Amino acid sequence: MSDDQVVPTENSPLKETIEDKLFLVKYKPDKDSHIEVDQEKFKADTLKAVLFICPAKVYELNEETGECMVAFENCLECGTCYVSCPEYVVWKYPRGGFGVQYRFG
């Protein structure tokens, strides 16, 4: 190991989980969602990738109906869902003053 490599320790920030990092994010949710899912196209998608790619776990499968439930209030506005599933996810930025507000960089 070279001298310039960083080795994570027990209390190192490199050991933080995604949940630890999401705790630092502040949200100001709007009353209206900035995300829509075309449920018919979602149901036809065999991979349903949107359920797995979102780092904030905004999308969840309703086992009874087969529909995609959207917790838009948790959205990090990263656009991963829009890029990965444009055929059934309609995503836009929230109205001004609403949405995610990052703290600590």
What does the pLDDT look like over 4-61, one tens digit per residue?
A: 665 556 666 567 777 777 677 788 889 999 999 999 999 999 999 999 999 989 999 9
Q: Tell me, what DSSP letter sits at residue 73? A: G
- pLDDT for position 70: 97
CB atoms within 10 A of CB 58: 22
Task: Please report the pLDDT score of residue 43 as a whole number.
Answer: 97
| pLDDT reading at 90 higher than 70 | yes
Where are the domains positioned within the chain? 30-95
Q: What's the whole-model pTM score? A: 0.74
- CATH domain 30-95 topology: Alpha-Beta Plaits (3.30.70)
Higher per-residue pLDDT: 11 or 82: 82
48: alpha, beta or left? (left if phi > 0; alpha if psi -120 to 50)? left
